[in-house]
Chain A
Amino acid sequence: MTETETIARWVTPGARVLDLGCGDGRLLRSLWETKQAPGYGVEIDDTHVLECLRNDVNVLQMDLEDGLAAFADQSFDVAILSETLQAIHRQEHLLKEMLRVGREAIVSFPNFGYWRARIQIALGGRMPVSKELPYEWYNTPNVHHCTLVDFEALCGKLGFRILERVVLTEGAAVATMPNLLGALAVYRVAA
């Protein structure tokens, strides 16, 4: 199972979708093709914005750090933040904004508690580099890493309900000890 498949399972047909940090728009394109879900992508990077237009995906060139002021309250069925949370400076603010504009939010991020990451730090003594975290410490766009436990604690603090959670490693769902064995976490949350 992939992250895209996981997200697609949670998106109801025809839902209005907002994808924050949408990259080249492939998730939105796939949700349109499989779920007829009309979507908007938000992206700051010029190259990605151009790719979105080439992929026939509606894209809005805006900075997520400025919040989601362009979007009215509850104007989307779901707001998605796919593998972007760790690169945001004001996470609390953005997560609150997501559940202001969306009825639900889907958030995925690389789990910093994954055993490979733990070993690289604990035994190798170096910052982890992996498929999910392909950057060196000095060139990473990521600023705020977290683990499953960290994220769930933040949801608790913000009063968010976790509706579903899927943890993936190498394309397979992880059921036991997810904070240790899971490389990527995907959450569905609501206010």
Chain B
Amino acid sequence: MIVAAHKARFTEPLRLSSGAVLPEFEIAYETYGTLNAARSNAVLVCHALSASHHVAGSYADDPDNIGWWDNMVGPGKPLDTDRFFVIGSNYIGSCFGSTGPASTNPATGKPWGADFPVVTVEDWVAAQARLADHLGIERFAAVMGGSIGAMQALQWSLDYPERVRHAIVIACTPRLTAQNIGFNEVARQAIMTDPDFHGGNYYEKGVVPERGLRIARMLGHITYLSDDAMMEKFGRALRRKAPGYDFEIDFEIESYLRYQADKFARYFDANTYLRITKALDYFDPAARFGGDLAKAFAQAKADFLVVSFTSDWRFSPARSRQIVRALLDSRRIVSYLEIDAPQGHDCFLLEDARYHGALRAYFRNMPL
């Protein structure tokens, strides 16, 4: 599937949760399949931390750049683009095309840098709603995502209940735990204490806080995998013939983390990383309802599919079961899958016959 990225520009200011206002913004997006005459077959796919609007397929001039959820979305795939019109949208604050900290601040003509506001999941969803208007989609057949993408699907069902018929919430949590927030804070500290960070205004200095980004990514990677999956993949295998009794790479896992870190620091923006982790920390849709998630879901009108993975310790099945319990308490329609798979939080990106079979069946039974 050959795809192309687009941009939509919005000139009406967007008021953010923080009270700050984005005077104007752009959203990068891709679409796959065809919107039907009734405009009833649109599915919005929301992405997680390091991904983008490039959900599926590849570009004509860059055939190796395959979308991050290509095993899920495409012709004949579980989310079948022969039947559905699928939209991948890049959230604001990102570094992949939508307006973010590296974009030009219209007030100064320079990159936003430190001045780019902190955005929340609610802000992402409000911006996506503008994109839906722009594309002429009044109501989505489904809004879906994994991890942070799932938070957006959940938020969509609360903030725009009339616009979401199904919310597909995979590897999600109704709020971060103190441990989750702790990990995020370590990542932020790694970035902000990097001498190349310059308080967030590093673009004009021609440097990148690579060291901080690298450490943040290493830490993140450890939380995406399970202990078992890591042991299975790397064990205690050595990269060299014998221990070196120095601080070069001994173990395979060290080599893997350094490789992932180097790769990430080349393409990801540190200011974006800071803001995404904050958006995660702040996510708590029950907060407005005295901590009662069921009361929050009383706003929703969608049917829900919730999926968790047993080895996911970042957002464990217990967190998904809280979502399910609250949905049941608020009398929403919900199905719940708890898939026994070993790879940890990353499971939501991997191919698994049970997981993909379930999504395929769910979409197939979705009336348009």
- Chain A interfacial positions (CB closer than 8 Å to B): 38, 40, 46, 49-50, 52-54, 56, 58-62, 69-72, 75
Interface readout for B310-351 with A: 1 if CB under 8 Å, 0 if not?
000000000001001100110001111111100000000000
- B334–A49 CB distance below 8 A: no
Given the known interface contacts A70-B324, A72-B329, the answer about A60 and B334 at a Cβ–Cβ threshold of 8 Å is: yes
B236 shortest CB reach to chain A, Å: 32
Question: Which of B324, B328, B340, B362 lies at the interface centre, i.e. has the most chain A CB atoms within 10 A of its CB?
Answer: B328
- A50–B354 CB distance below 8 A: yes
Given the known interface contacts A46-B354, A49-B358, the answer about A60 and B329 at a Cβ–Cβ threshold of 8 Å is: no
Given the known interface contacts A53-B358, A53-B361, A70-B321, the answer about A61 and B337 at a Cβ–Cβ threshold of 8 Å is: yes
Interface readout for B214-254 with A: 1 if CB under 8 Å, 0 if not?
00000000000000000000000000000000000000000
29 residue pairs from A and B, CB less than 8 Å apart: A38-B333, A40-B328, A46-B339, A46-B340, A46-B354, A49-B337, A49-B358, A50-B354, A50-B357, A50-B361, A52-B335, A53-B335, A53-B358, A53-B362, A54-B361, A54-B365, A56-B365, A58-B334, A59-B335, A60-B324, A60-B334, A60-B335, A60-B336, A61-B338, A62-B321, A62-B338, A70-B321, A70-B324, A70-B325
Number of chain B interface residues as a range: 20 to 34
Residues of B within 8 A of A58 (CB): 333-335
The contact of A75 among B321, B329, B335, by CB within 8 Å, is B329
Given the known interface contacts A49-B358, A53-B362, A53-B365, the answer about A75 and B336 at a Cβ–Cβ threshold of 8 Å is: no
Complex CA gap A56/B365 in Å reads 6
A47 shortest CB reach to chain B, Å: 8
Residue of A nearest to B338 (CB): A61
The contact of B328 among A52, A53, A54, A75, by CB within 8 Å, is A75
Give 19 A-B pairs besides A49-B358, A50-B361, A71-B328 with Cβ atoms closer than 8 angstroms: A46-B339, A49-B337, A50-B357, A50-B358, A52-B335, A53-B358, A53-B361, A53-B365, A54-B361, A58-B335, A61-B336, A61-B337, A62-B321, A70-B321, A70-B324, A70-B325, A71-B325, A72-B328, A75-B329
Residues of B within 8 A of A50 (CB): 354, 357-358, 361
Residue of B nearest to A70 (CB): B325
B340 shortest CB reach to chain A, Å: 8
Residues of B within 8 A of A62 (CB): 321, 336, 338
Residues of B within 8 A of A40 (CB): 328
Interface readout for B110-148 with A: 1 if CB under 8 Å, 0 if not?
000000000000000000000000000000000000000
Of residues 289 through 325 on chain B, the ones whose CB sits less than 8 Å from some CB of chain A are: 321, 324-325
A41 shortest CB reach to chain B, Å: 9
Complex CA gap A49/B336 in Å reads 9
